[in-house]
Structure 1
């Protein structure tokens, strides 16, 4: 058991709270049982280490510890003090994992934004969402979670947006970060051009849209383009999209926040695509 909160390993894990360290090492931390469980289930090849307290070792034996060991992952028992020193949150719930940003078996040339986007497009996606200049970690994570729930094929993130591997974003995704491709570091204008060249319509979600969401044709492959929380989409980005769509406000609310608007739009898209096998409902 690792019991020294000042050990070099502990400091190296805590250092992943800094973006510069994440970018240099190509790793990030996942805190809490839900995120770690989904990482082990869906991205085991990227999981470097799993850290659990004695209590968590027993509590999550079946859904985290045993699957991790079955996948030949390193599972380390640590004291509660060590886990607290590793984690960025006050209540990491006894479980933390260190995960590679990309599969360590992939070549360096295969993980650039253009190549990652090409891989998504090669799979002939029908529903995408592009985040442009989204800065709030909670919003970004919730959009990824909503995209996952709505059956989107990928989430695209501009280079000017928040780092999706920051702890707040990772927690907000509730494990969805490991369920669908998330392509980061994209140039917005170039991405819009690439999507159009692949026959994917781009729909700007904007309060000034002439088309109401219920009237939008969402049957063809398309990508929702979402803007910054404070100022929305720049004119040049909105004008570069194929259509500008607004979510109708029926009550007295001034607007919806980014994550809410994105989820509403994504579910509208999901409602116009053929129902797939394996669809589940909440509750």
Structure 2
């Protein structure tokens, strides 16, 4: 589609200013919208109908012509912008020049559980955006039925989380519930076995029956799961480490557990 880059939006244009504010959680809540950047995220936002506006530089319009054209067919407003405007919208050192303002895509935990999931990822008090996005992406790749962020976690609609999810935020049902006890109650009511990853487990990963509907609890990056949450789980599960490494980081541990669940569910 033809765009007039001679009249491109600058960083001072109200639409650009308002879009840039969406990097703040309070602004996202007020506007009921969020901002994503990059090929994977914008493509997923457009194809799933979540995008309302696209902002694109002249160079990006050439590079991502298929996405821009698809956005036009989907009645998404496409706005040409200057390179300086792109820098004001981006939170990366090198911008892709392609952005989308999107409608919120978060589900409620109850809605996810009403779908009778076979296995879920439940990150608890996740604070690192990159890990949160990777968990969403891995859960999507493994065929999990949803991700429920429990406790005071990073906002799944933050731009860094969305970028790390590589578009999966728009594909897999994702929820956020700050009340961890309430989440646990909903998991039990949905007849899910609750498994918690722990260095000192009741059983190793290969000893657990993963053919049952399962919710995996994954702890905070720095301090893991609290003793109370470990006690609340049905089984504390240890991942056998056969090399010399003392531990695994959050994203790696989650990937291994979700892979084993996917294998058991599809056996």
Same fold, TM exceeding 0.5? yes
Matches within 5 A, 1:35-46: 35-42=41-48, 44=49, 46=50
**Normalized against structure 2, the TM-score is what?**
0.94
Alignment of 1:187-198 (within 5 A): 187-198=179-190
In the alignment, is residue 172 of structure 1 matched against residue 164 of structure 2?
A: yes
Please report how far the alpha carbon of residue 185 of structure 1 lies from its aligned counterpart in structure 2 after TM superposition: 2.4
1:72 aligns with 2:75: yes
Question: 1 CA distance for matches of 2:178 and 2:172?
Answer: 17
Distance in 1 separating the partners of 2:9 and 2:80:
9
Structure 1's consecutive aligned runs of 4 or more residues displaced over 4 angstroms after TM superposition are none
Gaps of 5+ in 2: 1-6
Superposed displacement of residue 4, structure 1: 2.3
Taking the TM superposition and a 5 Å limit, the aligned residue runs for 1:91-130 are: 91-102=94-105, 116-130=108-122
How far apart are residue 192 of structure 1 and its match?
1.1
| Partner SS, residue 265 of structure 2 | coil
Alignment of 1:7-156 (within 5 A): 7-42=13-48, 44=49, 46-62=50-66, 64-102=67-105, 116-156=108-148
Report the alpha carbon displacement of residue 10 of structure 1 after superposing the two structures with TM. Answer: 1.4
Q: 1:239 aligns with which of 231, 242, 250?
A: 231
Is residue 2:173 matched to residue 1:181?
yes
Taking the aligned partners of 1:247 and 1:125, their CA distance within structure 2 comes to 23
Partners in 1 of 2:225 and 2:253 — Cα distance? 13
Supply the distance in 1 between the matched residues of 2:10 and 2:121 (Cα, whole angstroms).
Answer: 44
Give structure 1 stretches of 5+ with no counterpart: 103-110, 276-283
CA displacement, residues 228-264 of structure 1 (integer Å, 9 cap, x when unaligned): 1111111111111111101111111111000110011
Q: Give RMSD over aligned pairs.
A: 1.4
